[in-house]
Amino acid sequence: NYPARSVYKLKEIDNRFHIFENGQRVLDLGAAPGSWTLFSAKKVGPEGYVLGVDIQTTETEFPENVTFLQADVFEDSPELMAAMEKHLPYDLIISDMAPKTIGVRFADQANSLELCERAKELIPRRLKVGGHFIVKIFDSSDVKGYTDSLRKMFGKVKNFKPKSSREESIELFIVALGFRGIEG
């Protein structure tokens, strides 16, 4: 049983793109209440590892291969940096982060993009070459620019709107496969 319905979106992404494998290390950003974390932990198995990070806490109980850390991704707190360093490199960085929506579409989109930019900043030195990056973004005219920036870093980049995402929701997911590593 999963604490949030958002798990279906990750299942759909995995069914389509086959991102998970046994033994992987996963960095899960915006992890509370913990559905993606639990699903990832199951997919990677006891040999794998999942670090879930969220600004909010959660009551969800996780298996032994999970660490859940309450932290703001915009603050480079020593705890967050240390937790991220501990299991390098990651095979997957997944972000379901979303801003608190205020109902002003322009602001919500801008805040979502900032979270996506922050998630992208965490890729170099932390994501394994060949690793994958999945990120939720609120649709806007900025999505193309953001997607294009990922195309320079990854072998293949796709936009994906899960069926389980509510019809009226402006969220979509960018699936970036095959990290090329840091250039230069």
Catalytic residues: 136
Select 91 or 96, whichever has its Cβ closest to ligand SAM: 96
> DSSP secondary structure string, 6-66?
THHHHHHHHHHH----TT-EEEEES-TT-HHHHHHHHHH-TTSEEEEEESS-------TTE
Least CB distance from residue 3 to ligand SAM, whole Å?
Answer: 6
Minimum separation from the CB atom of position 9 to ligand SAM (A): 8
Residues in 66-125 at the binding interface with ligand SAM, rule: CB under 6 A: 72-74, 96-98, 115
Number of chain residues interacting with ligand SAM (CB under 6 A): 22
Pick between residue 24 and residue 35 the one whose CB is nearest to ligand SAM: 35
Cβ distance to ligand SAM smaller for residue 168 or 183: 168
Q: Which of 21, 23, 47, 56 binds ligand SAM (CB under 6 A)?
A: 56
Let me know: does 65 contact 41? Beta carbons within 8 Å: yes
Name the 3-class secondary structure at 156. strand
- Omega of the bond leading into 3 within 30 degrees of 0 (cis): no
Tell me how far apart the alpha carbons of residues 92 and 6 are, in angstroms, rounded to a whole number. Answer: 18
- 167: tokens are 């019809």
Contacts with ligand SAM, residue ranges (CB under 6 A): 3-4, 6-7, 30-36, 53-56, 72-74, 96-98, 115
